[in-house]
Amino acid sequence: MVPAAASDLKTGWTMINALIIDDEPINIINLQRLLEQHCPGVRVTGTANGAADGITAIQQLRPDLVFLDIQLPDKNGFELLKELPSADFALIFVTAFDQYGIQAVKFAAMDYLLKPVDTEELKTAVEKASSVIAKKKQSQQMQYLVEILHQGQQKDEHRIALPSLKETRFVYTKDIVRCESSNSYTHFYIKDGEKITVAVSIYEYEEMLAPYGFVRCHQSHLVNKKFVRSMVKESGGYLLMEDGVQVPVSRARRDELKKGLV
C-alpha cells in the first residue's frame, strides 16, 4: 500500500485515489513502487486481478484514477469498461501488447503505457490524469457551493448525496442520527432505522456536517446532537442516543463535547 504523502502534482490537490487492475501480482507490485517513488500524490487504495473483481472494486472504492491492464484472464479491459454503468474516473491503460493502442485511444484513455512501465512516461501520464481530476473536483465544489447559496439559512431543508454501491441517495441532514467509520467506509444511520454505507472516509463529512449540528465524539463517530439523550459518565463515558444506542466518547474530546452539546 502506498503511504499517504503530500502531493507534488501541479494541480494542488492533496491526493489521488488509484486502483490497479492487473492479473500479474508482480506487475501490481512494480507499479505501486513506481508510484510511491515518483508520484507521491497518488495513493493506491485497492488492487484487482481480474475483470469481475475490477468492476466490484471500482463500484466500491470509487477511485479517481484506474490503471487497467488490457489482457485479463476472464475478459479484456475493454469488455470490463463496457459493463460499467458509468465511468467517473480517469483511465490509464497498461499493457504489454502495443496492437491495442489505437483501440485504447477510442476508449478515451488518459494515456497508454507499455510494460515494462517507463518512469518518465508514468509521471507524464499521471500529470495529465491529475489535471482532469482536479477540474472535475473543482466543478463539483462549485456545484456544491451554488447549492448552499441557494438554500441560504434553511438548514432543515439541506440534503447531502450519499453514493452507495447501487445508487446515490439524497438525505436530509436533519434526518441523520449519527455516522460511524469503518476503515475507509462511513455508515450513516437514519432516524427511520435505515443504514446507508458509502466508500468515503468519515473525515470527509465532519466539516461538511458541522454547520448542521453534528459533533465529533470519537475518532470513529459523528453524532447529530439533536438526537443525543444524555452523556453518561460510567463505562468510560458514552452518549446515549434517543434510539437507545450507546456511542463511545474519547477522553480527548469529552470537555469540548460538553460545550458542543449545549
Question: What's the CA gap between 176 and 192, in Å, rounded?
Answer: 9
Compute the distance between CA of residue 208 and CA of residue 228 in angstroms, rounded to an integer. Answer: 20
Residue 125: which H helix or E strand, with range? Answer: helix 119-151
pLDDT, residue 134, reads: 81
Condensed to tens digits (0 to 9), the pLDDT of residues 191-223 reads 999 999 998 888 888 888 888 889 999 999 999
Q: What is the mean pLDDT of the chain?
A: 83
| DSSP helix/strand/coil, 132 | helix
Say if residue 19's pLDDT is above 90: yes
Instruction: Enumerate the domain spans of the chain.
Output: 16-140, 155-261
Residue-wise pLDDT tens digits, 115-158: 889 999 999 999 988 888 887 776 666 666 556 555 554 556 67
pLDDT in tens, 32-90: 999 999 998 999 999 999 999 999 999 999 999 999 998 898 888 888 988 888 778 88
Q: Which CATH number fits domain 155-261: 3.30.428.10, 2.40.50.1020, 3.50.50.60, 1.20.58.2030?
A: 2.40.50.1020
CATH number of 16-140: 3.40.50.2300
